[in-house]
């Protein structure tokens, strides 16, 4: 299958595939559901059965499947195809060869190991890959590390990522966007830290991420609000585009505006339109 645009976002919500009682609620509360056949399930057999028996809209659903080396992938893929889904998230991708037998599916590549992060550009170039996501905690496991972040601050807000995690986050983003693919930011594992989540989601969208993954429904509105341009940002973008027509450099208020800044203004309006704002 040739690569197509990945349009789900900005808030994607993980849901264990062995909890079909949560499927519909997850779909209602998010911009896209990631039904998880990998880490989040107690029984893979039950999860696959539930996946087939309780279908969601395939255009708004991604199924996370087990890694190539797990011994579980083929059975996961069989359930995915039987259920009629066409987009999968392949866990722990290491090389572009991991997806070369998945031509009938769209693949979101989960780059969450050292090898996967280093191979991100080659993975992003694969035609079946429509997006890349990175993962901090599995990355640290692959490195032999113990924590993706510095110590938690006294204010209860999650501390910043360590430099190696920030490098992985940037590398996956650069690889995805270089090949015109979606970029999905990692989950914020501290579900009570809404301040930290908001800050990271705001940084994600400002940096070029397409979406942020969530592990709890309460995170969804925080991510949506972070990705939503403010009324001031929308008005400023409209003013820039209205007053700076044509090629060259233009002055709008106290700022000099050139071609890249015009493109950024269009991006703000496009995002506002996607999120249902008046532009």
Q: Residue 118: what pLDDT? A: 98
Q: Does residue 279 lie within any of the structural domains? A: no
Q: Residue 232: what pLDDT? A: 73
Q: Does residue 53 lie within any of the structural domains? A: yes
205 and 135 both lie in a single domain: yes
Count of domains for the chain: 2
249 and 198 both lie in a single domain: no
145 and 239 both lie in a single domain: no
Q: Which of the residues in the chain have pLDDT under 70?
A: 1-4, 152-156, 231, 233-235, 237, 242-259, 261-262, 269, 277-279
Q: Does residue 44 lie within any of the structural domains? A: yes
CA distance 68 to 99: 9
**Locate tokens 């990631």: which residue?**
34
CA distance 182 to 217: 22
CA distance 154 to 10: 30
* CB within 8 Å of 41: residues ≥ 6 apart: 16, 17, 18, 47
The end-to-end CA distance of the chain, in Å, is 35
Both tokens of residue 265? 């203004």
Beta-bridge mates of residue 133: 110, 184
Q: Residue 137: what pLDDT? A: 95
Do 98 and 90 contact (CB within 8 A), yes or no? yes
C-beta neighbour count of 167 within 10 angstroms: 12
Structural element, H or E, at residue 228: none
197 and 265 both lie in a single domain: no
158 and 260 both lie in a single domain: no
80 and 129 both lie in a single domain: yes
Q: Does residue 195 lie within any of the structural domains? A: yes
What does pTM read for this prediction? 0.87
Domain region containing 247: 231-274
43 and 163 both lie in a single domain: yes
């Amino acid at each position: 299958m040739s690569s197509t645009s990945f349009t789900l976002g900005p808030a994607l919500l993980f849901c264990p595939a062995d909890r079909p009682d949560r499927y519909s609620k997850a779909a209602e509360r998010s911009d896209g559901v990631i039904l998880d056949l990998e880490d989040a399930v107690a029984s893979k057999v039950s999860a696959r059965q539930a996946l087939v028996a309780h279908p969601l809209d395939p255009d708004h659903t991604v199924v996370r499947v087990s890694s190539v080396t797990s011994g579980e992938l083929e059975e996961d893929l069989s359930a995915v195809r039987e259920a009629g889904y066409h987009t999968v998230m392949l866990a722990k991708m290491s090389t572009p060869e991991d997806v070369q037998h998945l031509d009938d599916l769209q693949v979101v590549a989960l780059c969450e190991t050292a090898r996967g992060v280093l191979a991100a550009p080659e993975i992003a170039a694969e035609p079946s890959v429509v997006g890349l996501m990175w993962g901090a905690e599995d990355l640290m496991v692959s490195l032999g590390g113990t924590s993706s972040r510095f110590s938690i601050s006294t204010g209860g807000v999650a501390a910043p990522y360590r430099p190696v995690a920030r490098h992985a986050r940037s590398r996956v983003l650069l690889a995805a966007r270089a090949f015109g693919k979606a970029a999905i930011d990692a989950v914020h594992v501290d579900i009570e830290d809404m301040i930290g989540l908001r800050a990271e989601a705001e940084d994600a969208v400002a940096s070029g991420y397409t979406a942020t993954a969530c592990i709890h429904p309460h995170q969804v509105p925080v991510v949506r609000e972070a990705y939503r341009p403010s009324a001031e940002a929308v008005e400023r973008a409209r003013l820039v585009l209205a007053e700076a027509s044509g090629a060259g450099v233009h002055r709008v208020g106290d700022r000099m505006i050139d071609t890249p800044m015009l493109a950024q203004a269009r991006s703000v309006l496009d995002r506002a339109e996607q999120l249902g704002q008046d532009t």
